[in-house]
Amino acid sequence: MTLAASLSDPRSMMLTLVEAGAHLDFRNAAGQTAIHQAAKLGSDVALQVLLTLIHPVYNLRPYVLSANGSS
């Protein structure tokens, strides 16, 4: 998911990954989630997709901190 966040148009890739069971809160080796990666890269599209996919049913928090303490 973090790699998909770096694509110029990540919508279809992210939806495909979620449908295949990818975890939205997965962290890469640097401790970053896809939301961290999308924000770091300034990808408004990826952020919009990710925030739309996050729902209370998943018990995910988009404001979690990365391994180095940044949000």
pLDDT in tens, 4-57: 988 989 999 999 998 899 988 889 898 998 999 999 999 999 998 888 887 655
Q: Residue 13 is encoded by which pair of tokens? A: 């890739």
> Nearest 5°: CA angle at 30, between 3 and 33?
50
At the topology level of CATH, where does 4-58 sit? 1.25.40
Domain boundaries, the chain: 4-58
Q: Which residue has the higher pLDDT, 16 or 63?
A: 16
Q: Which residue has the higher pLDDT, 71 or 18?
A: 18
The Cα 56–Cα 67 span in angstroms is 23
pLDDT at 54: 79
> Nearest 5°: CA angle at 1, between 30 and 21?
125
Helix spans in 1-71 (H): 11-19, 34-41, 44-53
Q: Which residue has the higher pLDDT, 39 or 61?
A: 39
pTM, full prediction: 0.70
The Cα 43–Cα 21 span in angstroms is 23
